[in-house]
Structure 1
Amino acid sequence: MKDFLKIFQNRNFSKLFLAGFTSMMGSIIGVTAFMFYLLDKFSEQPFYATLAELMYSLPTLAVFFIVGVLADRMDRQKIALYCDWICAVLCLALMGAILLDWMPLIFAVLFLRSAVGKFFFPADQAMVQGILSKDEYAIAAGLNQMVGSMFMLFGNMLGIFIYWSVGIQGAIAFDLVTYVVSALLIMSMKVNEEVRLPNGKHKFKDINIGMVWKDFGAGFSYIKNSKLLMALIFGFFLFGVVNGGLSVMPAFIMKYKLAPENYEQMMMWMGIVFGISVLAGSVICSMLAKKIKLSTAIIIGLFASGIAIGLCAVAANIWVFFIFTALMGLGIPLVNIGLGGWLPKIVDPKMMGRVQGAITPINMLSHTVTLALIAAFFPKFLSVEALFWVVGGALFIVGLFYMFTLPKYDVEETEETTDMDLKEKVPV
């Protein structure tokens, strides 16, 4: 607990943390409300709910080549700030599109807002790396995991409540407010120039196609020269499968199998169960972060959550499903805290944006393909149980792969080899 209190004495981190919190809150609540809006509006066509989720993942594939480059070449604080302001404006555009009730325009605005939002995370994480010390990375990862669990606990529930109370327009208006609050917090930060501009000052006119592709390629080359990063990349690809499936599977199994008459209420209860279990797991894992190897935490978490997701497929009733959901929630923090505490330690600060920019499209490619396959084959060719088996199996496969690869990478050895062997290859 003292470590958590100490890290918040860093005012820049406190503001950045709260900015990320509010920005994430808006997007999660809005996406949740919109999915239920589409499930109500097109009750017999789950394709639309899946398509809405695709509007979250597809934009990554449109902007992946430039996201990380901008985070490393331009002012990271301004990137995060402009993302929030533009997303706030697009919330107004989305409200107008919903009033017109023209689905192509609605999906187009959702796509654009998501594309703009993709620039926030690499800039945010790159600033965190400069604001905190290496010893604080795992603590920050634990805090981020706790925030994620709070969203799981209250995000879906609040999204559904707002949708019930004031409709989809009220949920989008809530999104707008959270983006504005996040922008104001980013504006109030006082970040050193070496953190905001680790590679020196650049102007937009300096960012041409040749430079973008050169820098993007440098990010992949940097990853290729690190065996640990290459091993982690494989996991991120399959994590995309998991994230894509879990974004729609709980709603589908509730609506079409376990609780067709009151699936919205049961989704709220599932959010509470899952959120509490992830929050408990986050607290436990944060305390264990300095006592066990990060590789061990990741592997245990993958096996535990993968088995739990697979068991969800055979749940005979809603209460058994909740038990397996809670077990899954206890395992996920081990993975997230392990990865979140490891990456900042092994990546050069000058390359963090490009590394994140390379990882994200790999993750989102599999995320998007998974959602596309679900939209095409569910429920005609794939049962909802099969979806859970596929996703649980993906986590189990990653667990097996990591079990044979990650333990040999000791943190201290990794830091030493990364600094000595790769630092000279970082383009400035």
Structure 2
Amino acid sequence: MKSLFRNPTFCKLFIATFASQLGTVIGNMAFAFYLVDRYSERPSLATMAELMYSLPTLTVFWIVGVIADRFDRKHIAAYSDWIRAGLTLLLLLFVHYDMLFFCFLMLFLRSSISKFFGPAEMGLLQGSIDQDQYVQASGLNQMIMGMFMLFGMSLGAGAYHFIGIKGAFIIDCVSFLISGLLLAWGDFPERARIPNGRTSIRELRLSLLFKDFWHGLRYISENRLLLVLISGFLFFGIVNGVFSVLPIFTMKYKLSPDNYVVHSSLITVFMGIGFLIGSIIAPHFIRRFTRTPILISGLFISSLLIGGLGTTVRIEVYLVLILLAGITIAPINIALGSWMPELVPPQNMGRVNSLIEPIMMLGHSLALGGIALTFPFWLSVTWLHYMLAFCTIAVSFFYLRFLPSLVRNQLVYSTGEKAIADGKEA
């Protein structure tokens, strides 16, 4: 871990990613509270706001990875932050005049631009550290996620309560500017920034975009282990989609209608604590037991805990179960996050990473669309939890069916390749 932070390039990237995430979380959470507070009789608006964060993936995914693999990833990530800062200022203006349609439009555009940040950041990270540091770096990323789960909703609620929705968006804007500056000042190696060589914007043609996109699809389809791993992300998207509104809905419409702001914040605090604990212990367990059993057992245990959340009627029990769920979910994310850079070469990372997110966002959008149409008239908070549990256990059994044999085959293949290479050197 110390060796990572001795790397100044990694430090700037780590802080920039943190600031960019901060700029996203505070405004989004504050806007959710703003909608639930101001339009409490229309819970569908909060769900619609979440859709504005997820739907853009389905419109730009085919170009995001190609851009990340063809152009300078450092510039892509920095400009993604700076453009979002400008859009946040426009969002601030539309909130002031209570123009909801244009607020949702700005949320859509801001989320669209943010999709260019992830593949570029992943490529910069992959090219800036050694392969044996992937698990540690993934663990740190999960700790960031845990911190935002721990404080994200609380920060959003606090910002909305003390400085209002406008103040929250100002914090967003400043965070994006800082993140972009750190990335612009970062001294990233050329292999991380442009692994496929320099490409001029004049060379960019629609035919080239589709060619690169299909290349990424072919690469995934020809790697069965990668294909199986990515197939489970549709269900992860459904889980993320439901959980994006579940804390507020659980407290507002079931457990604590009068104090839902405080208690929904406590849900994310306990989940965040669980993520931090899980992120600390996960690298040790992954080294000892390997990724496959950690991934499968973590998903199975999580499904039982999430099902238990749907049956509880006491806030204290709910918080304890959400803490345990956070501990079991963190190793799942670390196992997946550290596996991808090992399976995908740098020149294809942008295209592969950009294809993962639309699969997740498809599930995310389907879940939110279903909630907007059915909640609370046909689908209760309890059944939202049961739906999450079903999706989680389905992925667990899917991975149990395919992953062990694929991992064994890959190990045999890698061992044979290494033996052939050693024989040639001898």
TM-score range, shorter chain: over 0.9
User: How far does residue 299 in structure 1 lie from its aligned partner after superposition?
Assistant: 1.0
User: How far does residue 69 in structure 1 lie from its aligned partner after superposition?
Assistant: 0.3
1:419–1:178: structure 2 CA closer, same or farther, 3 Å change rule?
Answer: farther
CA distance in 1 between counterparts of 2:206 and 2:248 reads 42
CA contact (8 A) 2:77 2:116 kept: yes
CA contact (8 A) 1:87 1:113 kept: yes
Could you say which residue in structure 1 is the equivalent of 2:328?
Answer: 331
CA distance in 1 between counterparts of 2:283 and 2:230 reads 23
CA contact (8 A) 1:346 1:415 kept: no
User: How far does residue 25 in structure 1 lie from its aligned partner after superposition?
Assistant: 1.3
User: How far does residue 414 in structure 1 lie from its aligned partner after superposition?
Assistant: 5.3
Could you say which residue in structure 2 is the equivalent of 1:384?
Answer: 381
Counterparts in 2 of 1:388-407, with a 5 A limit? 388-407=385-404
| 2:13 is aligned with 1:12 | no
Deviations 1:159-182, CA, capped at 9 Å, x for gaps: 111110011001111111110110
2:239 corresponds to which letter in structure 1?
Answer: V
User: How far does residue 183 in structure 1 lie from its aligned partner after superposition?
Assistant: 0.8
Counterparts in 2 of 1:155-174, with a 5 A limit? 155-174=152-171
User: How far does residue 412 in structure 1 lie from its aligned partner after superposition?
Assistant: 9.5
SS of alignment partner, residue 379 of structure 1:
coil
CA distance in 2 between counterparts of 1:111 and 1:168 reads 18
Q: Identify the match of residue 187 of structure 1 among 161, 184, 187.
A: 184
Q: Identify the match of residue 237 of structure 1 among 229, 234, 245.
A: 234
CA distance in 2 between counterparts of 1:414 and 1:229 reads 14
Counterparts in 2 of 1:17-416, with a 5 A limit? 17-410=14-407, 413=410
CA RMSD of aligned residues (A): 1.6
User: How far does residue 408 in structure 1 lie from its aligned partner after superposition?
Assistant: 2.5
Give the TM-score of the pair, scaled to structure 1: 0.95
CA distance in 2 between counterparts of 1:289 and 1:89 reads 42
1:415–1:157: structure 2 CA closer, same or farther, 3 Å change rule?
Answer: farther
CA contact (8 A) 1:346 1:414 kept: no
CA contact (8 A) 1:312 1:324 kept: yes
1:419–1:120: structure 2 CA closer, same or farther, 3 Å change rule?
Answer: farther
CA distance in 1 between counterparts of 2:415 and 2:27 reads 40
CA distance in 1 between counterparts of 2:408 and 2:174 reads 41
2:143 corresponds to which letter in structure 1?
Answer: M
CA distance in 2 between counterparts of 1:259 and 1:383 reads 15
CA contact (8 A) 2:225 2:407 kept: no
Deviations 1:224-261, CA, capped at 9 Å, x for gaps: 00011110111111100000000001110100010000
1:394 corresponds to which letter in structure 2?
Answer: C
State how many pairs are aligned. 417
1:289–1:8: structure 2 CA closer, same or farther, 3 Å change rule?
Answer: farther
User: How far does residue 366 in structure 1 lie from its aligned partner after superposition?
Assistant: 1.1
Identical aligned residues as a percent = 43
CA distance in 2 between counterparts of 1:371 and 1:142 reads 29
2:261 corresponds to which letter in structure 1?
Answer: E
CA contact (8 A) 1:300 1:334 kept: no
Could you say which residue in structure 2 is the equivalent of 1:424?
Answer: none
1:194–1:365: structure 2 CA closer, same or farther, 3 Å change rule?
Answer: same
Deviations 1:297-332, CA, capped at 9 Å, x for gaps: 111211121211111111111111112111111111
CA contact (8 A) 1:304 1:327 kept: no
2:209 corresponds to which letter in structure 1?
Answer: V
1:217–1:50: structure 2 CA closer, same or farther, 3 Å change rule?
Answer: same
The runs of 5 or more residues in structure 1 that have no matched partner are 421-428
1:414–1:53: structure 2 CA closer, same or farther, 3 Å change rule?
Answer: farther
CA distance in 2 between counterparts of 1:412 and 1:147 reads 34
CA distance in 2 between counterparts of 1:419 and 1:116 reads 43
SS of alignment partner, residue 58 of structure 1:
helix
1:388 corresponds to which letter in structure 2?
Answer: H
The runs of 5 or more residues in structure 2 that have no matched partner are 418-426
CA contact (8 A) 2:247 2:268 kept: no
Could you say which residue in structure 2 is the equivalent of 1:426?
Answer: none
1:147 corresponds to which letter in structure 2?
Answer: I
CA contact (8 A) 1:91 1:176 kept: yes
